[in-house]
Chains A and B, each alone.
Chain A
Amino acid sequence: MSGIRSDFPVLAGMVAPGARVLDIGCGDGDLLDFLQRERNIDGRGMELSQDGVNASVSRGLSVVQGDADWDLADYPDGAFDVVILSQSLQVLHYPRLVLEQMLRIGLRAIVSFPNFGYWRVRWDLATSGRMPLTSDLPVPWYDTANIHLCTILDFLALCEAMDLRIEQGLTLDRKGNARPIGANPGLANLLGEQGVFLLQKR
């Protein structure tokens, strides 16, 4: 029943033991379950699909059916130590507002997303002249739920515009190998399949 995605250990590394965690778009609850076992968190989830909620609830997780674009307003300020948005930033209608909400209800936010600046994506677009199809972006444009794709540089610019402090910024490959973005974000943007960020308000 439980699948451990390759990025879970990296995400877990950003979560302090015993933290109060909200996982937005928690699916079947795999990440929450992993964090409970690895970090002994006090976890909650939000998930759009009833199947996902049912699967999560039946493994003992507390998950509400809800839409991140609208329903984060229901949580009080500072309710969580960490709010996680993994691999769903690009499906939101209002990514910036959601990010603001995440850092209102949580002291920290973890955001991960497929990097549209990754060289394979660029190469695909440049050579074929059509919307890229890669392992992180496997669905054709007309069927994809991804409506707000961005690159790592785009995301860094948004953090700058929102005056957020980046505590950690990493790129990930499909095997889950993490690399710090470091002093050369342009290179990270070219070589990183995914971006993972631990954010805080200034």
Chain B
Amino acid sequence: MTTEGNAADKSGPAVANAKGAVPTSSHHFFTISEEAPLTLDSGPTLAPVTVAYQTHGELNQDKSNAILVCHALTGDQFLTGRNHLTDRPGWWETMVGPGKTLDTDRYFIICSNVLGGCMGTTGPKDIDKETGKPFGLNFPVITIADMVRLQKRLIDHLGIEQLFCVTGGSMGGMQVLQWAANYPDQVYVAAPIATAARHSAQNIGFHEVGRQAIMADPNWHNGDYYSHGVVPKRGLAVARMAAHITYLSEAALQNKFDRNLQDRTKVSFGFDADFQVESYLRHQGSSFVDRFDANSYLYITRAMDYFDMAAEYDGILANAFRGTKTEFCIVSFTSDWLYPTTENKAIVRALNAAAARVSFVEVESDKGHDAFLLDEPEMFTTLGGFLRAAAARRGLTSPTRGR
């Protein structure tokens, strides 16, 4: 599996002294061997574990300009530029690039596929060395903290003692919080976006609908569809359709589709996709199954459901951040009902209670949860200002690359 991808380079990314010779973006794999396996929250250890990651920009001499971006449930390591596995554009083109908020001319930006993912990092579709067959449901149940443990190994491997920033939205924001709680000295600033410190009953409920849809698909074969040569496409598509609604807002759906009909002038008195919104969701579902592994969906949604940062701290979230020197900037969106402002403010409140340095804004947007992926100038202004001020404090004054 470690040879997958067209830009595999085990030597790790180059440092910024060979200006011009270093490509600005590159794709890599790093593998944890059996000598130092990954210990998981659920008990077992896992090895070998491969992590697929992409980097953008150049690491400076002090290795002080690294930003780790943590991706969301169905995201991947391809932040910007072409995803060579799916031939789609990167998922955070709005945020990452030369001169953008996460400025690749200034910062060295790392994004890795999460543990349990299906874009090159070890997950349920990969070969279990015990059986010689894909893991399927033999893959251990993982947690957000496990994902972060793997990222920590990668950051150690890259020789980065302290990340300048860890950021991400949604499940990415959960990883940011976990990073800040577990490795406070390795995180200079943290910017969790549109996230929560625990999954609510509603969050878990929606995920359970998705999982049940996958498991109800006869092609799922108790997770062993790999050996049957089939894919539980219908179940995964339904899971995606239901989830996609939660990423938008009522206003966004209404403005985009209202009750408009799809390629027809009257309803068909049948169960075709009469309405544009149906057609749109069916497309979201069917295009998703081509790029995402159904078992990865089960495992990663489970990891999110198990996420409850306060649980390890006697139910007091503030205790997760006691004594932290990390500075935080939290952003929520008014129309996000998946990880609403109240959940983000609960994090702010906990950080206040821990006397941490925290900034917070609620961005006005009708785009729902997905706003964090979209062109939201106020979000860029807030985060850009936060990062520039932090960079100045850290002495990251000059770009690593001329433009």
Contact = CB atoms under 8 A, between A and B. Distances in A.
A58 interface: yes
B316 to A, nearest CB: 11
Contact of A50 (B318, B345, B361): B361
Contacts of A60: 389-390, 392-393
A64 B358 contact: yes
The size bracket of the interface on A is 20 to 34
Interface in B356-383: 357-364, 378, 381-382
B352 A79 contact: yes
A20 B359 CA distance: 16
A142 to B, nearest CB: 26
A57 interface: yes
Contacts of A63: 359
Interface in A40-61: 44, 50, 53-61
B359 A64 contact: yes
A66 B360 contact: yes
Nearest to B349: A74
A75 interface: yes
A42 to B, nearest CB: 9
Interface residues of B, number: 28
A3 interface: no
B361 A65 contact: yes
Interface in A6-57: 20, 44, 50, 53-57
Contacts of B362: 50, 65
A57 B386 contact: yes
B98 to A, nearest CB: 20
Given A50-B363, A54-B378, A57-B385, A62 B327 contact: yes
Given A62-B359, A74-B349, A76-B352, A54 B382 contact: yes
A75 B352 contact: yes
Nearest to A74: B349
Given A60-B393, A74-B345, A74-B349, A65 B385 contact: no
B19 interface: no
A68 to B, nearest CB: 14
B358 A62 contact: yes
B159 to A, nearest CB: 28
Interface string A75-90: 1100100000000000
A56 B378 CA distance: 14
B69 to A, nearest CB: 20
Given A50-B363, A62-B359, A57 B329 contact: yes
A76 B385 CA distance: 28
Given A50-B378, A62-B327, A74-B345, A57 B359 contact: yes
A188 to B, nearest CB: 36
A20 B357 CA distance: 11
Contacts of B384: 58
Q: Among the interface residues B357, B388, B390, which one has the most CB atoms of the partner chain A within 10 A?
A: B357
Contacts of A61: 359, 389
Contacts of B385: 54-55, 57-59
A76 B389 contact: no
A66 B332 CA distance: 13
B251 interface: no
Given A54-B378, A74-B345, A74-B349, A44 B386 contact: no
Contacts of A74: 345, 348-349, 352
Contact of B361 (A54, A59, A62, A76): A54
Contacts of B318: 76
Given A60-B392, A64-B352, 15 more contacts: A50-B364, A54-B378, A54-B381, A57-B389, A58-B385, A59-B385, A60-B390, A61-B359, A62-B327, A64-B358, A74-B345, A74-B349, A74-B352, A75-B352, A75-B353
Interface of B: 318, 327, 329, 345, 348-349, 352-353, 355, 357-364, 378, 381-382, 384-386, 388-390, 392-393
12 contacts: A44-B352, A44-B357, A54-B382, A57-B361, A60-B390, A62-B327, A62-B357, A62-B358, A64-B352, A64-B359, A64-B360, A79-B353
Interface of A: 20, 44, 50, 53-66, 74-76, 79
